[in-house]
Structure 1
Amino acid sequence: MMSNDTMKRIVLASRPDGPPTPDNFRLEELPMPAPGPGEILVRTIWLSLDPYMRGRMDAGPSYAAPVEIGATMEGGCVGQVIESNNPDFSVGDFVDHRFGWCTHGVSDGKGLRKLDPEVAPLSANLGVLGMPGMTAYAGLNIHGRPKEGETLVVGAATGAVGTMVGQLAKAQGLRVVGVAGGPEKCAYATETLGFDACLDHRAASTPHDLRVAMGEACPDGVDIYFENVGGKTLEAVLPLMNTFGRIPICGVISWYNAGGLGEGASEGQNHLPRTWRAILVKRLSVRGFIVTDHYDQFPEFLDLVGPMVKDGRIQYRETIAEGLESAPQALISLLEGGNFGKQLVAVSEDPTRK
C-alpha cells in the first residue's frame, strides 16, 4: 500500500519482441515529488491507454522518440492539483497532463489544460474530448474531405477513434460502415452509434469473405476508408475504393505486434504491388497523419464536439481497469481488441464521478 510520502510509476523494463508481456513492465515506488517555485503537484485520476504506446516501446525511428529502458511509460492523464506554488492553478483544479503511467507528477503548468467537470465527465477528456476525438475530427475532415452522400468505412469501429469517426461522418450525411470484432460491438455500432452497417471481422475467415460482406454493405463503393487497423480489413476495402477516394491513415493496429511493418501479417504474402497499383489506377489520396500536427485546431474541435457530447448527440463507451498496477495487462488486452470503446485506467478516486 502506498503511503502519503511515496508515489508509484510503471517503467519500461525491456523492449518486447512481438506482443508485449507483463515482463516488459516494472512497477516502482519512489519518494513523493515536491513542487518548487511556480510549480504544482498533481494527483493522477485517469490514465489513457492507446495503441500508439506499443510503437513507443520499440527502439526504431518513428514520429516520436521511444520510451527509454527504465523510463516511465508515456501516456495522457487527467488529474487534480493537490499542491500549488503557481498563481494560475489552485488546489482542487482538474487538469490534463502527460506525466505518463504514474500516480503523481510535478509541472510548471505549461501545456496543461484546466478541465470543467460540468461540461463533461473528467474521463471524457481522454476520449471523445481528448486526443482520440481530435484524431477522428482531423483525420476525417482535413484528410478524408467528406461530402454528403458518400460512403465511409472505418476499422476498429467501436474503439475510441472509430466511434467518433463514424458519428461525425453520420452527422455530415455520409453512409457509414464499421468493422469491429464480435457481434456485441457490431450491434453497438449500429444500434447505439447509428452506423448504417457494421461487419464482424472475426466472422470472416479470409479477406475475401470480408470483402464480399463489405461489397454488400457498400453497394456504391467506398469513398473514404479511415485506416486504423491494416491487415485483412485493408485488403478487403482496397478493391472497393472508388476513383479519387481518400484513405487517412491513423494507425495499423493489427501489425503493431509484428514490429509495425506487417511482415508476415497476412500469410507471408507481399501485397505492396497490388496496393500500389490500386492507388495509381484509382487515383487515391492516401495520407498518413499525426494528431499533433493539427492541435492548432483543438479549440475549434472542442467548440463543435463539446456541445454534441453534452446533449447526447455523440455517444461513447469506456473500458476501465482499476489501479495503476493493472495498466500493463490492460494495454496488452487493448492491442488484442479486448477493449470496448476508450480504454482507461482508474489510478485514483474521481471526486466528480457519480
Structure 2
Amino acid sequence: MATLIGREIHLASRPTGWPTPDNFSLVEAPVPAVGPGQVLVRNRFLSVDPYMRGRMNDVKSYVPPFRVGEAMEGGAVGEVVDPGDSALSRGDLVLHQSGWREYAVLDAERTSALPPVPGLSPSVYLGALGMPGLTAYVGLLDIAGMQPGDQVFVSSAAGAVGSLAGQIARLRGASRVIGSAGTAAKVAYVRDLGFDAAFDYHDGPVSQALAQAAPDGIDVYFDNVGGDHLAAAISRLRRNGRAALCGAIAGYNAETPVPGPANLALVITKRLTLRGFIITDHRDRMPDFIKEMSGWLREGNVRFNETYVDGIEHAVDAFLGVFQGTNTGKMIVRLD
C-alpha cells in the first residue's frame, strides 16, 4: 500500500517583529500509520489565531513555543478517514489541535464526534461555537462580571472574539455597547451586528473617540488590543468598573516592549478591576456556553462572519492577514 503523503506548515525560523512568509515552510511529509487506539483525520478547516504569534517566540508562556523545523499546531475540524479500532466512524467530524496540516493522527480516547449544526458549516466549531465564542462568553460574563444595565466597550469589535462579545453583552442586557474597528467597512459591520456605537481607531486618538461614544463613561471593557485602547478605557471606566484583558494584539509584533498605559493611578482612585485570563483555564464553562450560544444561533440572535482562505498553501497568508486586518470575524483556512 502506498504511503500517504500530506502537506503541513513548519516553522522555518523565529521572527523578529512582524513575521514574514520566510519564517514558514510548506513541507510534504509521510502521514504516520494508524496504530492501536488512534484515528486518521483529513482536516477540512484550520484556525489561525493571534495567540499563535506568541508561540513563534522561544519564550516561556502558558503554552510551549512552536519548534523550528516542525509542524505548527492549532485548532482544526477534520473528517475521520480511518477510524482504526475506535468507536468513531468514517466520515465523523472531530475538533482537535493538530491543525496546520492536511492529515493528522489522533488519540481516539481524546477524540469525539461533533454534532452537526443545521444550516451552518462545521467551521462554526472554530469560531462562534469554539474557542473565540467561549472566550467572549467567559471574558464578558465571568471575568468582567457584566450586569444588565452596564455600558460596555469592546476593542477589535469586528474580530472573531470581539464581534461575539458585543452581541452577548446586548443579549445579556447591556444598556449601551460600543466597539472599535480598523476600517469604515468594519465599523459598519459592527453597527449592523447591533452595537450602539462604533468608531475607526485610525480616525484619531482612541481616547477622544471613546469619550464621544461614551460621554457618561463605561462599566465594562473587553480588551483585545491593549496599548492606547486600554489607556482610553481606563480613563472612561466609571467607579468600580471592570476590564477583562483577553489579548494585546497591538504589541504582538513589536520589536521592543510596548509602553503600558500612563494612567494606571486611576485604577486605584476609581477602584477598578483589571483581570487577565486564559480561556483554557475555563473549559468547565463549555457546556453552559454551548447550550446558550446554540440557542442564540438557532434563533438568529447572534450572527457571525467567517473569512475563508482556501488551501494549505495559503495558510500563512491567512495567518499574516489576521495582523493586517484582512479578516472580518473568524479567519478560516478551508481545505475542502
Task: Confirm whether residue 217 of structure 1 aligns to residue 206 of structure 2.
Answer: no
**Secondary structure in 1 aligned to 2:177?**
strand
1:241-289 CA-partner distances (Å, limit 9, x unpaired) = 1111111110000100015xx62x4xxxx545x3331211111111110
- The one-letter code matched in structure 2 to 1:228 is N
Report the counterpart of residue 54 of structure 1 in structure 2.
53
Please tell me whether the aligned partners of residues 43 and 99 of structure 2 are also in contact (alpha carbons under 8 angstroms).
no
Aligned length: 333
1:316 and 2:312 aligned = no
Work out the CA distance in 1 between the residues paired with 2:20 and 2:151: 39
Which of 295, 299, 302 aligns to 2:287? It is 299
Cα distance in 2 for residues equivalent to 1:279 and 1:86: 57
The separation in 1 between residues aligned to 2:84 and 2:115, in whole angstroms, is 21
Describe the SS at the equivalent of 2:113.
strand
SS of residue paired to 1:95? strand
- Structure 1, unmatched stretches of 5+, are 350-354
1:190 CA displacement: 0.9
Alignment of 1:87-98 (within 5 A): 87-98=86-97
- In structure 2, relative to structure 1, the CA distance for the partners of 1:14 and 1:311 (3 Å cut) is same
Q: CA deviation at 1:232?
A: 2.1
TM-score, normalising length from structure 1? 0.91
Mapped contact 2:305–2:330 kept (Cα < 8 A): yes
| Partners of 1:134 and 1:332 in 2: CA distance | 23
3-state SS, counterpart of residue 301 of structure 1: helix
Match in the other structure for 1:171: 171
Task: Give the letter aligned to residue 159 of structure 1.
Answer: G
Secondary structure at the counterpart of residue 251 of structure 2: helix
The answer on whether the counterparts of 2:38 and 2:105 sit within 8 Å (CA) in structure 1 is yes
Match of 1:253 in 2: 249
Q: Distance in 2 between matches of 1:271 and 1:5?
A: 50
| TM-score, length basis structure 2 | 0.95
1:178 aligned partner, one-letter code: G
Runs of 4+ aligned structure 1 residues displaced above 3 Å come to none
Could you list the runs of 5+ residues in structure 2 that have no partner in the other structure? none
Between 1:100-109 and 1:124-133, the stretch displaced more is 100-109
- Contact kept, 8 Å, 1:151 with 1:220, in 2: the verdict is no
Q: Percent same amino acid among aligned pairs?
A: 43
**Paired residues of 1:25 and 1:328 also in contact (CA < 8 A):** yes
1:290 equivalent in alignment to 2:278: yes
Three-state SS of the structure 1 residue aligned to 2:293 is helix
2:317 corresponds to: 329
3-state DSSP class of the match of 1:92?
coil
Distance in 2 (CA, whole Å) between partners of 1:176 and 1:88 is: 46
Contact 1:228 1:250 in 2 (8 A): yes
**Partners of 2:243 and 2:109 in 1: CA distance:** 35
C-alpha RMSD of the superposition: 1.5
- Aligned 8 A contact 1:182 1:203 in 2: no
Change (3 A) 1:85 1:66: same
Q: Is the 8 A contact 2:88 2:112 kept in 1?
A: no
Amino acid in the other structure paired with 1:145? G
CA distance in 1, matches of 2:231, 2:274: 15
1:184-242: CA deviation from partner (whole Å, max 9, x where unpaired): 11111112x100001110112xx3xx222211211220111101001222222221111
- Per-residue deviation, 1:72: 1.2
SS of residue paired to 2:110:
coil
